[in-house]
Structure 1
Amino acid sequence: MRPQATMIVDSHAHVSPCWYEPVETLLHHMDRHGVETAVLTQMIGQVDNGYQQDCVSRYGERFLSVVWVDAQAPEAGATVERLAYAGAAGVRLRPGACLPDGTLPDVWRAAQQCGLPVSCVGSAEAFAAPAFAGLLAALPEITVVLEHLGGSSAPVDTDEALALRQAVFSLARLPNVMLKLPGMGELMPRSPTALRDGEPFGGRSHPLVEQALVAFGARRLMWGSDFPVVSAREGYGNALKFAMQSLAGQPAQALDDIFCRNALRVFRER
């Protein structure tokens, strides 16, 4: 019998009363597939984080809230501090760079001062930029989690694209950097015979999963469904199932880290 994670935490899900799906829809999928907790990751551009905060208030430990702020607003740093005081588990930011004088941008400085982890959304090109590596090196005390396996938000089929992903993985040299592992449907095209033989990806897993594990280790990966966007790919339950299958050879401790402990350690136990 293959090892299983003892508890499942979804590190990357979106909810909204006006776009995507409300939290009750996510709860249905979580309950159906044995997911105990989800990190609600605010949509890009949504500066009103009230709904996520309300979800945390209503459902207790089922949810954690990673907020979004307008990084260009004059009061951005103060907003991060206010949201941290109100109970935010983290802040979602795009990749940045130190200012010309070497100081940190306000939102990154505020995240550091508040001890907030950063869920970082961007392209592989942005993650691989030397200026971003410099910013990360200047923030050794906070955890920065790169979303979508470091910008692998679509299947790639060229040597150049794969090399770019490898450049992102070189950030593993910085101990405060982690990766979110998505469902396989985000990384691979569906097999033409998927509906006939029940093997959506032809029985394969993406080599980037193994490469990420080698580069970062199980203690710096965390699974995230990307709900409800995942519903247009393999679906919520399959995003969990096939991610686990791709790591079936790993020991139980590694699975617990990737599918539970790492997300709780970063976003709840900060």
Structure 2
Amino acid sequence: MPPIDAHCHASPLWYEPVEVLLFQMDRGGVEKAVLTQLLGQFHNDYQQECVKRFPTRLASVGAVDPQALDAPQQVRKWAGRGMVGLRLRPDARSPAGDPFAIWRAAADAGLAISCAGPTALFLSEGFAELAAAFPHMPFILEHLGGWVRPDCDRSDASWQAILALARLANVSMKIAALGQLAPRPISQRLPEAPPILDDAEGARLIQALDAFGAARLLWGSDFPVVSSREGYGNALAWTRALFADRPPAEADAIFRGNAQRIFFGDRP
């Protein structure tokens, strides 16, 4: 089955418009994609417009300002317009009397949470308590739990702590932005075959699979940022190569099934 890209971005004002994403998807044989709102942006009209134009190919994970007094109402509004997920940092809290109001609104609307931020936030007691408070709401950690971010403490202890988050049954992980772990060596000639992710870093994906299980990993391209690193095609090819020796059912879940279930549901 063709893959679903669980993490990508499109905008007419920053990055690239959706038509460029669709070109890369078609070129790579990717059938569907989950548009993920840019951090700090809360106008979800463009993403919803894209979903309306391409309903069989796109889903929208939007964003709402958690500090806005009407944040819960905004969540309900966008969910009513077809938004299937909400992008939030683990430390997002609502003002006034209920700090979890925005999280509660997302849970009531049946949304999945695309969780952005540094690893330190995911490893805090607050995040574990948050996930436990909403056990039926999916929390999907972006970018290997922040491991690919340059501000991550890339110690073995930190990585093991990320893997330990698998104890939270409603927490999943996106495999995206692997190119941040494999910068192009400028002084070397590129190989004629597609470049392969460093073995040590590639092994982390197998460790993530062993910890979370295939039902809680989702592949994403991180388009269009990926275009300044390994490129869309390599983002897919590298990850596929790493899981090539695993049972086909596991790869089907990682590259398609989980994103279909969480973000598209019964939509064809």
**TM-score exceeds 0.5:** yes
Name the aligned partner's letter for residue 167 of structure 1: A
1:208 corresponds to: 204
Residue aligning to 1:3: none
The answer (yes or no) to whether the contact 1:179–1:220 under 8 Å persists in 2 is: yes
Task: Give secondary structure in 1 for the equivalent of 2:190.
Answer: helix
How far has the Cα of 1:212 moved from its partner?
0.5
In the alignment, which of 122, 129, 132 is matched to residue 127 of structure 1?
122
Partners of 1:79 and 1:23 lie apart in 2 by 24
Question: Does the Cα contact within 8 Å between 1:97 and 1:132 map onto a contact in 2?
Answer: no
Q: How many residues align?
A: 263
Give the aligned CA root-mean-square deviation in angstroms: 2.3
Equivalent runs, 1:141-152 vs 2, <5 Å:
141-152=136-147
Counterparts of 1:56-205 in structure 2, within 5 Å, are 56-96=51-91, 105-154=100-149, 161-190=155-184, 193=188, 195-196=190-191, 198=193, 200-201=195-196, 204=199, 205=201
1:28 has 2:27 as partner: no
1:9 is the counterpart of 2:4: yes
The structure whose RCO (Cα within 8 Å, separation 6+) is larger is 1
Which amino acid in 2 is paired with 1:180? K
Structure 2 stretches of 5 or more lacking a match? none
Conserved 8 A contact 1:120-1:145: yes
3-state SS of 2:56 partner? helix
Paired AA for residue 115 in structure 1: G
Tell me if the contact between 2:66 and 2:93 (Cα under 8 Å) persists in the aligned partners: no
Q: Give, in whole Å, the separation in 1 of the partners of 2:14 and 2:4.
A: 23
The secondary structure found in structure 2 opposite 1:210 is helix
Letter in 2 for 1:256: D
| One-letter amino acid matched to 2:178 | M
Matched with 2:221 is 225
Q: Do the aligned partners of 2:61 and 2:83 also contact (CA within 8 Å) in 1?
A: yes
Deviation of 1:170 after TM superposition, in Å, equals 1.0
SS of match in other structure, 2:87: strand
Which range moved further: 200-209 or 133-142?
Answer: 200-209
Work out whether residues 218 and 257 of structure 1, in 8 Å CA contact, stay in contact via their aligned partners in 2.
yes
Q: Is the 8 Å Cα contact of residues 10 and 224 (structure 1) preserved in structure 2?
A: yes
Q: Secondary structure at the match of 1:206?
A: helix
Q: AA paired with 1:116?
A: L
Q: Tell me the distance in 2 between the aligned counterparts of 1:59 and 1:201.
A: 33
| CA distance in 1: counterparts of 2:193 and 2:152, whole angstroms | 23
1:115 deviation in Å? 1.0
